[in-house]
Amino acid sequence: ASGWELPLCDERRRSFVSLRRSRFSPKQLKSWYRSLERGIEWDRPKIGARLLPRSAAFLTSKGCRCTYKYSGTSWQALNMESWFLEITEAACQAC
């Protein structure tokens, strides 16, 4: 599809990044950011005595009771709400 850039294409390390700019207005992106920031129960657990340097959440389909575990941390499953699925669908359609 046209409009895609490939700013990172490192075959040796099997690292790739594709980028498609300006698919959404700044107003739309800001609105989505606010929704994600306020509507998701972000967690910042400790690893030993240190606080994880980033916030994270584990979003799943409704009904999942899985726990995501990584490097001594764990997150309970959070349902992907309809507003989140709408953002996801818009992003997928843009690709």
pLDDT digits (tens, 9 = 90+) for 12-29: 999 999 988 888 999 999
pTM, entire model: 0.76
The answer to whether 58 and 78 are in contact (CB under 8 A) is yes
In contact, 32 and 38? CB cutoff 8 Å: no
pLDDT, tens only, 39-81: 999 998 888 888 888 889 999 999 999 999 887 888 899 999 9
β partners of residue 60 = 79
